[in-house]
Amino acid sequence: MENFEFYSPTEFVFGKDRENDCGQYVRKYGGSHVLLHYGGGSAVRSGLIARIKTSLHAAGLEFEELGGVQPNPRDTLVYEGIRICREKQLDFILAVGGGSVIDSAKAIAAGVLYDGDFWDFYCGKAEITAALPVGTVQTISAAGSEGSGDSVITKTDGMLKRGAGSPYLRPRFSIQNPALTETLPAYQTACGATDIMAHVFERYFTNTQEVEITDRLCEAVLLTMLKETPRVIADPHNYDARANIMWAGTVAHTNIVGVGRQQDWNSHGIEHELSALYDVAHGAGLAVIMPAWMEHVMPHNPMRFAQMATRVFGCEMDFAHPERTAAEGIRCFRQFLRSIGMPINFAELGAKEADIPALVEKFGIGDGVRGGFMELRADDITAIYKIAAHAEI
Amino acid sequence: MENFEFYSPTEFVFGKDRENDCGQYVRKYGGSHVLLHYGGGSAVRSGLIARIKTSLHAAGLEFEELGGVQPNPRDTLVYEGIRICREKQLDFILAVGGGSVIDSAKAIAAGVLYDGDFWDFYCGKAEITAALPVGTVQTISAAGSEGSGDSVITKTDGMLKRGAGSPYLRPRFSIQNPALTETLPAYQTACGATDIMAHVFERYFTNTQEVEITDRLCEAVLLTMLKETPRVIADPHNYDARANIMWAGTVAHTNIVGVGRQQDWNSHGIEHELSALYDVAHGAGLAVIMPAWMEHVMPHNPMRFAQMATRVFGCEMDFAHPERTAAEGIRCFRQFLRSIGMPINFAELGAKEADIPALVEKFGIGDGVRGGFMELRADDITAIYKIAAHAEI
């Protein structure tokens, strides 16, 4: 096991009707003038935003609104948020929505206290050393942003999707009411579930030896997702299944299941180019990319994949041919993704094989090597996109 | 799943040699005048306390020392610590040791800022509303106190062992170097492992339905303990096995594996009377009590025990007679405890059957009912002690 730090100071407030207390949590964590940040019309139409405003009013808080966050949240709205926070001297950002809204809120929070261009944090030019406090009311189980210090933003000019991370970006509190996710369409629910599983797999495939505790915790989250996801697809109003998925999604991404080990994250990087180019849902892109990545890198350590196959997917171990068990595990994963309505190849996603050279170019690896479970070069990236283009079960 | 809050703001600093940075972490969390609190001679003899002092000096911190914490830490030393902190106007408590030292530090931290008797918090007379910041350098994997808001203290007058809990008691940072646990005797290592497993079982046996995620997380910790504990008993210097156990012990008790569900904790209460009366190690007492509690309450929900038996101990499910699988799981647990050198009955622990009436009396249940997985009355407590007195495999 490798040395590590783990720091997750977010207060999670979980369960039915908890969003009605959001005003008092903003107060508890020092807010008085709030930027209320949210996405499209559904949070307004459902009456959620009205209830949030009631709670803010009841707590005696003043606030400004900034809605309109898109999936794959844009830098343009971040600049707008920074401008409003400075102009109105706001001291707290309340994000009401899914990962896109929360990521956008985090970018604003860091940008307000920075003299330069906030994009510096996302292109690796500067490190975040301060941020306004952020609180969240989570409406989608997927990104894990409610419990992480990470944020991913898309630069509209060139559709560059890049991430930043810092302990300063961890929300002070996150209110998680599983019932708020009940109105999500099945497709988006499945995209979220795929993202949650991907966050675990990115940590699970490692070259670090002797990390049984984080292996087992990863498997715990994955087993939960295999049980609960089909239940919410079949019955969107199954509160308990939604609750299990929501907490699993948070556990998957606070990094408690990933400490003490090298992690991978190449599937996320490879997928980001897809969702940036086609503006498809991140989870759907991962459903296409992640099993393709698995197939490509499996020969690097078949026993690790055999472990996943047996412990997570319940495959029978083929002791004479572990690589067959490994391949069977990947097949089971892809079959699971299809069963919950996810695309598994380029055609189903709406991507084009002819774009592969452009995708590899944008991935920006050049003649270099990307570290991780298996080191990847440009040829590997091309091969993974090709597997993804043609995948079948 | 039930509504819950989860808040674990401790910064965990894990790995080799990390204790040498403790001075800078005390500074980071606002300390300048420190109470350095520790136990018996081993931390001094090993040179650990000297290294801690070097680190405190290097960070420009002033400190007072208070050693001598015993297992089952006493109120008398807590009063002494409170006195020193007030007299020297100390603003931070650094606990170097296992659960006893950390629990003692927490009691001092809360007591310093309280006008009344600190014992009020432990006998239920008052609630903790403030505490000095506490940091820890953990030397034993067991109590989970490094990541919890709990503390258990023994009142010397009458040997009453009672607990208090508050978010204010959560350490600001906990430094966890698995190598520091390598000098522990095998018996104490096994006691710690038993305590860790017990912390999970107290959460696992619940009447709350539909908490798959916390079930699976509990099982993840238990499976890790089953793998790693025999390895450290066989080879005390197996760093990786010690590292897995250390992090498993923390995960077991931050409550991340227990949220959203009713918990039990009766085995802990029943054991506390044993370790208070005979001054035996808490983990050894649990090894005797917990399987006895399991046998007594198993008929309340055999399927829950069958789940433990199959998922954790790998028992074959007897679908015609689930209660047989349930019983087999409990037998496996007791066998595991014996295999790591734990006592499994009163004689092996050094307890006397003749004391059972006195133990039940001190448990203080009277004509009342203790809630939990199965409601317990005085007769149940007696029955559990009796099973524990005579247990064999």
**In the predicted model, is pLDDT for residue A184 greater than 90?**
yes
Per-residue confidence (pLDDT) for residue A279, from 0 to 100: 86
Flag if A212 and B221 touch (Cβ within 8 Å): no
- Which residue out of A213, A310, A312 would a mutagenesis test of the B interface target, given it has the greatest number of B Cβ atoms within 10 Å? A213
Neighbouring CB atoms inside 10 A of B103's CB total 27
pLDDT digits (tens, 9 = 90+) for A300-349: 999 999 999 999 999 999 999 999 999 999 999 999 999 999 999 999 99
Q: Is A113 helix (H, G, I), strand (E, B) or coil?
A: coil
Flag if B243 and A210 touch (Cβ within 8 Å): yes
Neighbouring CB atoms inside 10 A of A361's CB total 14
Residue type, position B48, single letter: L
State the nearest Cα–Cα gap between A269 and chain B, in angstroms. Answer: 28
Mean pLDDT, range A51-59, rounded to an integer:
98
Sequence-separated (6 or more) residues with CB below 8 Å from residue A130: A110, A113, A114, A168
Nearest CA in chain B to A224: B213
Flag if A251 and B251 touch (Cβ within 8 Å): no
Give the pLDDT band of residue A40 (cuts 50, 70, 90).
Answer: confident
Flag if B240 and A209 touch (Cβ within 8 Å): yes
Per-residue confidence (pLDDT) for residue B161, from 0 to 100: 87
Question: Which of B272, B336, B275, B339 lies closest to B309 in space, CA to CA?
Answer: B336
Contact A274, A359 (CB under 8 A): yes
* CA distance linking residue A341 with residue B126, whole number of Å: 54
**In the predicted model, is pLDDT for residue A107 greater than 90?**
yes
pLDDT digits (tens, 9 = 90+) for A216-266: 999 999 999 999 999 999 999 999 999 999 999 999 999 999 999 999 999
B18 has a chain A CB within 8 A of its CB: yes
Give the pLDDT band of residue A159 (cuts 50, 70, 90).
Answer: confident
Contact B389, B346 (CB under 8 A): yes
Closest Cβ–Cβ partner in A4, A11, A216 for B5:
A11
- Can you count the helices (H) and strands (E) in chain B? 16, 8
Q: List the 334-373 stretch of A: residues with Cβ below 8 A of B.
A: none
Closest Cβ–Cβ partner in A7, A213, A228 for B247:
A213
State the nearest Cα–Cα gap between A303 and chain B, in angstroms. Answer: 18
pLDDT digits (tens, 9 = 90+) for B316-332: 999 999 999 999 999 99
- Which residue out of B1, B141, B204 would a mutagenesis test of the A interface target, given it has the greatest number of A Cβ atoms within 10 Å? B1
* CA distance linking residue A46 with residue A96, whole number of Å: 13
Mean pLDDT, range A52-72, rounded to an integer:
97
* CA distance linking residue A118 with residue A128, whole number of Å: 9
pLDDT digits (tens, 9 = 90+) for A169-183: 999 999 999 999 999
**In the predicted model, is pLDDT for residue B287 greater than 90?**
yes
* CA distance linking residue A94 with residue A138, whole number of Å: 10
Question: Two tokens at A334?
Answer: 């892809």
State the nearest Cα–Cα gap between B124 and chain A, in angstroms. Answer: 25
Contact B307, B100 (CB under 8 A): no
Per-residue confidence (pLDDT) for residue B41, from 0 to 100: 83
Question: Two tokens at B322?
Answer: 């689930």
Closest Cβ–Cβ partner in A6, A211, A227 for B12:
A6
Which residues in chain A have Cβ-Cβ distances shorter than 8 Å to B214? 247
Contact A92, A32 (CB under 8 A): yes
Kindly list the distances between the CA atom of residue B391 and the CA atoms of A183, A212, A339, B339, in Å, as whole numbers in the listed order. 54, 32, 49, 15
Closest Cβ–Cβ partner in A2, A209, A213 for B248:
A213
Question: Which of B54, B65, B47 lies closest to B20 in space, CA to CA?
Answer: B54
The DSSP bridge pattern shows strands B4-14 and A4-14 to be: antiparallel
Percent of chain B with pLDDT over 90: 97
pLDDT digits (tens, 9 = 90+) for B367-381: 999 999 999 999 999
State the nearest Cα–Cα gap between B387 and chain A, in angstroms. Answer: 33
Sequence-separated (6 or more) residues with CB below 8 Å from residue B213: A220, A221, A224, A228, A244, A247, A248, A251, B260
Question: Two tokens at B49?
Answer: 């306390």
Per-residue confidence (pLDDT) for residue B279, from 0 to 100: 86
DSSP state of A9: E
Flag if B14 and A259 touch (Cβ within 8 Å): yes
pLDDT digits (tens, 9 = 90+) for B116-162: 999 999 999 999 999 999 999 999 999 999 999 999 999 999 888 89
Q: Is A343 helix (H, G, I), strand (E, B) or coil?
A: coil
Average pLDDT score, chain A:
97
State the nearest Cα–Cα gap between A385 and chain B, in angstroms. Answer: 33
* CA distance linking residue B31 with residue B35, whole number of Å: 10
pLDDT digits (tens, 9 = 90+) for B204-263: 999 999 999 999 999 999 999 999 999 999 999 999 999 999 999 999 999 999 999 999
- CA of residue B342 relative to chain centroid, distance: 16
State the nearest Cα–Cα gap between B163 and chain A, in angstroms. Answer: 23
Question: Two tokens at A326?
Answer: 């490994």
- Total residue length of chain A: 393
- Can you count the helices (H) and strands (E) in chain A? 16, 8
pLDDT digits (tens, 9 = 90+) for A1-11: 999 999 999 99
Flag if A244 and B1 touch (Cβ within 8 Å): yes
- CA of residue B385 relative to chain centroid, distance: 21
- Interface A-B, measured as beta-carbon pairs within 8 A, has a size of 129
* CA distance linking residue A176 with residue A92, whole number of Å: 19
Flag if A2 and B18 touch (Cβ within 8 Å): no
Flag if A4 and B16 touch (Cβ within 8 Å): no
Neighbouring CB atoms inside 10 A of A223's CB total 22
Question: Two tokens at A225?
Answer: 């997702």
Nearest CA in chain A to B221: A213
Which residues in chain A have Cβ-Cβ distances shorter than 8 Å to B16? 3
Percent of chain A with pLDDT over 90: 97
Question: Two tokens at B215?
Answer: 């079930």
Q: Domains in chain A, start-ordered, CATH in brackets?
A: 11-180 (3.40.50.1970), 185-390 (1.20.1090.10)
* CA distance linking residue B340 with residue B333, whole number of Å: 11
- Which residue out of B176, B200, B212 would a mutagenesis test of the A interface target, given it has the greatest number of A Cβ atoms within 10 Å? B212
DSSP state of A167: G
- Which residue out of A212, A219, A255 would a mutagenesis test of the B interface target, given it has the greatest number of B Cβ atoms within 10 Å? A212
- Total residue length of chain B: 393
Per-residue confidence (pLDDT) for residue A276, from 0 to 100: 86
Task: Name beta bridge partners: A96.
Answer: A38, A137
Per-residue confidence (pLDDT) for residue A234, from 0 to 100: 97
Mean pLDDT, range A101-105, rounded to an integer:
98
Give the pLDDT band of residue B184 (cuts 50, 70, 90).
Answer: very high
Contact B23, B61 (CB under 8 A): yes
Flag if B6 and A15 touch (Cβ within 8 Å): no
Q: Is B30 helix (H, G, I), strand (E, B) or coil?
A: coil
Nearest CA in chain A to B249: A213
Flag if A14 and B3 touch (Cβ within 8 Å): yes
Give the pLDDT band of residue B276 (cuts 50, 70, 90).
Answer: confident
Q: Is B207 helix (H, G, I), strand (E, B) or coil?
A: coil
Q: Is A224 helix (H, G, I), strand (E, B) or coil?
A: helix
* CA distance linking residue A243 with residue B63, whole number of Å: 47
The DSSP bridge pattern shows strands A4-14 and A173-176 to be: parallel
More confident residue, B40 or A91: A91
The DSSP bridge pattern shows strands B150-155 and B160-165 to be: antiparallel
Strand ranges (DSSP E) for chain B? 4-14, 33-38, 62-66, 92-97, 134-138, 150-155, 160-165, 173-176
**In the predicted model, is pLDDT for residue B307 greater than 90?**
yes
Per-residue confidence (pLDDT) for residue B295, from 0 to 100: 98
Three-point CA angle A68, A70, A73, nearest 5°: 115
Per-residue confidence (pLDDT) for residue B360, from 0 to 100: 97
Which residues in chain A have Cβ-Cβ distances shorter than 8 Å to B242? none
Three-point CA angle B88, B89, B93, nearest 5°: 95
Which residues in chain B have Cβ-Cβ distances shorter than 8 Å to A256? 251, 256
Q: List the 189-248 stretch of B: residues with Cβ below 8 A of A.
A: 209-214, 216-217, 219-221, 223-224, 227-228, 239-241, 243-244, 247-248
Q: Is B194 helix (H, G, I), strand (E, B) or coil?
A: helix
Nearest CA in chain B to A245: B213
Q: Convert B1-12 to b/e letters by CB count within 10 Å (16 or more is b).
A: bbebebbbbbbb
